[in-house]
Chains A and B, each alone.
Chain A
């Protein structure tokens, strides 16, 4: 079970958090102008990487804030945590 450093509350048990899938997928500003394929790309396509992955997490049983996490899915090492809207600190 991870120990997650919430950027607002500090280090907490994983059980307080909820994973929210891949990060940095921006909702299209004008969905109506997209083709079915383009919309499907936004709606369904996810990378699901074995290795370093950018993810969204929510401190659902804490401050309820969303934030981003960089995690290596092959060994569960958390590389970085940063707030929504911030640039990833590592590539």
Chain B
């Protein structure tokens, strides 16, 4: 460690606790309390990475979350590796490993540096302009562009850390624990508000906590001492919760905020086991106080990006908070007084300040006189015109500014330095305020945007509200918070403030140079290498909107979201276009304020907790019997049950054959079930289904088709009349919740006069369907007391029954075209009844089948599946299901739409059967259907919706929708595939047992 850069002064650094870490494979030491940035600076390391486009050497520029340059890869190749981490925010711990990004083979020698030399031919929009033609070459270009795009490396394996989400409800949320935030939190908590105070740093007090200057005092104490006492006081308050290392990422409407709390990132890896790494806080606050402070502005001049160039306030923070000098021969370059505070901090520790370059002609403040007294040469009305030093600044050249500040005059002077501090004044951090919907106004006198119109119960205080002097901050905080919280007692008696600072600033967005602008590189967005030249080019090329200039030049589109340079971009645009600042507005501030990890966003919703699984009561049996599952909505449904290494096709063929030859059994518990009661239930069903329900006898079942008001098929299912005023409706598995919602909607809003009550009972019953020629024998063994004779229990009827004294409902309904029974029993008996059926069916080779076989069997019968054979454009007429649409009923949902000019068109897509010329050929679902492949362009007539090989018919069958297909029976059509054209014949959609003999066969 180079000792002359570390000063023993800071109470935030534990000098008894040495920490070793590795950066770019080299071992360094720092102290507990250091950030990676402060520890590297203490070791004299400034060069941290290469810029995105030109691969220019870049160093640490700031000391906080606004850092554009010092972004590194943390943890290198471990499973925790994380790209784009700001070195200024990483607290070091024993064993930390980090490396530079965007450079190869090393940060010191980077091949991509050639781009810097090529920069004259890499202007804004270079990629757009160059790689657009010829269009067919894009794929080749893309390969190379992709290789050079992106910063850092993403992890290759699963994240080993744990994350979680927390909800917080509070009366008052205070964002930012600087001086105004601390005061606000104290006032709120002491007045009985349940208060939460959050700050992104590990310490409280913001920048005032290391303000040891004699030039600004509160009640005759230096600011840091006064604030320390305040912090001590509030940390004991019961009403106040304080969260450090917590960054508010998003401020949404109605005071809903998201914050990321870092819990273990500062700990050595071996201390992180089984601990939550980061927490996403979902905060709902009655009142929000934003005290997010301000960000120092850089100055925009030629070559303002070299390692060793830092914000002046950051140099101050490094020396005051971390005891680290950023150089041994420092020059400060400023347009306002705050750089003189930095100067005083450096002077007090005996660090050499070679010069201060000040844009201003007149400098009149106590602190500037004090700096001058210490023999620091101040160049008034001067500007830096160039800097030198490839991997670290070693020299600058300066010239005098003209009166209007637009040009430079006189001779060039060169000054040596190893560090340049720049200060362009301050930009209020209004990001969160604007995210919440707040409107900004532009304050002409010091060229800042400040909060104007608040969209919710919130207030901004301190420098994020444009108050920059200590006096303003404290006075306005007291006044505004008292009013905002409507409290009598401010908790503060008289506060006397002394400040030695003058707030004057000479604002020049783009500083002039002796070179023409085309020969300069004045960076506005450091991370994305956008220069003032690029912005001016964009304007010359006709871009006017700030949002367009942003996207064309990529200004403000890096991971730092332009926290430093966006104001300058606006300034340069308005100066060049000759418009007033503020007229353009700003670009949109979008969440997150600082990047969030994916881990934080998903929290515990990973792996099997990613989404909810719904399992049927019989699920365990399926698992034990080797079922493969498919997701239907949130349900896990048994898909097929492979035996002896069968593939899916083989298993489905076997299952389908057994179901028709002897017996099959299906778990149908996932079908939606809605219990309907009330004296108007029949009338209600009349209105929601296309067919008539009034005459359905108690104990009978009926298939129903439900439409949307636009006439398109929405859902289907069998409904059973359990009693005079009692029905049980079944819906499709995926549609259950929506159907219930739709029915409730009509009941509550259109037909409130109907006496009908709906209740979802999907989860209450297990449903077991036994089908096939032997189904009757099997069910009679399971429920011996039930009379299964066809006379007493015909197709489409229902019976109450008991299995071992447990009530159940048995329906004789069929989705396979086979004689079949559906047993509905209280869910917790589902598995045992299923096992009973399996036992009873053993002699009949009862075969469990899954959804795939179900789909095949129903396709043989031409039964539709809503959502597979239909989309939201099929009417019942299109489906050739005219029989189910009542002509007599006065009205039902969707009726009027069935004879709109569009729905009665003859050439609508209609459902047909398709048979391949070669019966072995199986069509692909989704394949296009055409009549003529030679026509150009080929006219698409429709597509295949369902396709299977039927083991019962020993041929391939398919359903599809075809324009005007109803009238094409027997016609030849073509399915063009990648390697061949398949000929098909349009057929009736019912392929098997058209007369329904199997349903009514005497068993």
Contacts and interface: CB of A to CB of B under 8 A. Distances in A.
A36 to B, nearest CB: 5
A58 B741 contact: yes
B709 A43 contact: yes
Nearest to B893: A27
B901 interface: yes
A36 B901 contact: yes
A32 B744 contact: no
Contact of A2 (B253, B710, B745, B890): B253
Contacts of A76: 253-254, 437
B256 A1 contact: yes
Nearest to B256: A1
Interface string B738-752: 000100110011101
Contacts of B254: 1-3, 76
B891 interface: yes
A60 B741 contact: yes
Nearest to B891: A31
A34 B253 contact: no
B896 interface: yes
A67 to B, nearest CB: 9
A36 B709 CA distance: 13
A85 B744 CA distance: 15
A43 B895 contact: no
Contacts of B741: 18, 58, 60, 64
B455 A84 contact: no
A60 B455 CA distance: 27
Most interface-central of B254, B710, B750 (chain A CB within 10 A): B254
Nearest to A31: B896
B900 interface: yes
A54 interface: no
Interface in B896-916: 896-897, 900-901
Contacts of A84: 748-749, 752
Nearest to A66: B748
A64 B744 contact: yes
A1 B251 CA distance: 10
A36 B748 contact: no
B228 to A, nearest CB: 38
B745 A20 contact: yes
Contacts of B752: 84-85
Interface string B757-795: 000000000000000000000000000000000000000
Contacts of A1: 252-254, 256
B812 interface: no
B245 interface: no
A2 B284 CA distance: 10
Nearest to B892: A31
A32 B202 CA distance: 70
A82 interface: no
Q: Which of A2, A18, A31, A58 has the most CB of B within 10 A?
A: A31
Contact of A31 (B437, B745, B895, B901): B895
Interface string B865-907: 0000000000000000000000000110001110011000000
A2 B897 CA distance: 36
Nearest to B284: A3
A27 B744 contact: no
Interface in A1-19: 1-3, 13, 18
A27 B750 contact: yes
A71 to B, nearest CB: 11
Contact of A32 (B253, B709, B891): B891
Contacts of A36: 900-901
Interface residues of B, number: 23
Interface string A34-52: 1010011001000000000
Nearest to A85: B752
Nearest to B896: A31
A84 B749 CA distance: 7
Contacts of A3: 254, 256, 284
A39 B897 contact: yes
Contacts of B455: 75, 77
Contact of B710 (A43, A66, A85): A43
Contacts of A75: 437, 455
A77 B900 CA distance: 39
A87 B54 CA distance: 65
Contacts of B710: 43
A87 to B, nearest CB: 15
B740 to A, nearest CB: 8
Interface in B243-291: 252-254, 256, 284
Contacts of A32: 890-891, 895-896
Given A2-B253, A36-B900, A39-B896, A66 B745 contact: yes
Interface in B313-341: none
Given A64-B744, A75-B455, A56 B891 contact: no
Contacts of B709: 27, 43
A56 B749 contact: yes
Nearest to B253: A76
Interface in B226-245: none
B300 to A, nearest CB: 35
Given A32-B896, A34-B896, A36-B900, A65 B253 contact: no
Contacts of A20: 745
A40 B899 CA distance: 12
A42 to B, nearest CB: 8
Nearest to B895: A31
A43 to B, nearest CB: 6
Contacts of A39: 896-897, 900
A47 B361 CA distance: 60
B904 to A, nearest CB: 10
Nearest to B901: A36
Nearest to A4: B254
Contact of B749 (A18, A43, A60, A66): A66
A58 B745 CA distance: 8
A91 B762 CA distance: 42
A82 B480 CA distance: 35
A84 B746 CA distance: 12
B746 to A, nearest CB: 8
Contacts of B895: 31-32
B638 to A, nearest CB: 29
Contacts of A2: 253-254
A85 B751 CA distance: 11
A21 B279 CA distance: 35
A14 B673 CA distance: 27
A34 B710 CA distance: 14
A77 B743 CA distance: 30
Interface string A17-33: 01010000001001110
A4 to B, nearest CB: 9
Given A1-B252, A32-B891, A76-B437, A43 B284 contact: no
A65 B750 contact: no
A12 B293 CA distance: 33
A22 to B, nearest CB: 12
Contacts of B749: 56, 66, 84
A65 to B, nearest CB: 7
A18 B709 CA distance: 19
A32 B254 CA distance: 45
Contacts of A31: 891, 895-896
Top 3 nearest A-B pairs by Cβ distance?
A: A31-B896, A1-B256, A66-B748
30 contacts: A1-B253, A1-B254, A3-B254, A18-B741, A27-B709, A30-B891, A31-B896, A32-B890, A32-B895, A32-B896, A36-B900, A39-B896, A39-B897, A43-B709, A43-B710, A43-B897, A58-B745, A60-B741, A64-B741, A64-B744, A65-B748, A66-B744, A66-B745, A66-B748, A75-B437, A75-B455, A76-B254, A76-B437, A84-B752, A85-B752
Given A60-B741, A66-B748, 19 more contacts: A1-B252, A1-B253, A2-B254, A18-B741, A20-B745, A27-B709, A32-B890, A32-B891, A39-B897, A40-B900, A43-B897, A58-B741, A64-B741, A65-B748, A66-B745, A66-B749, A75-B455, A77-B455, A85-B752
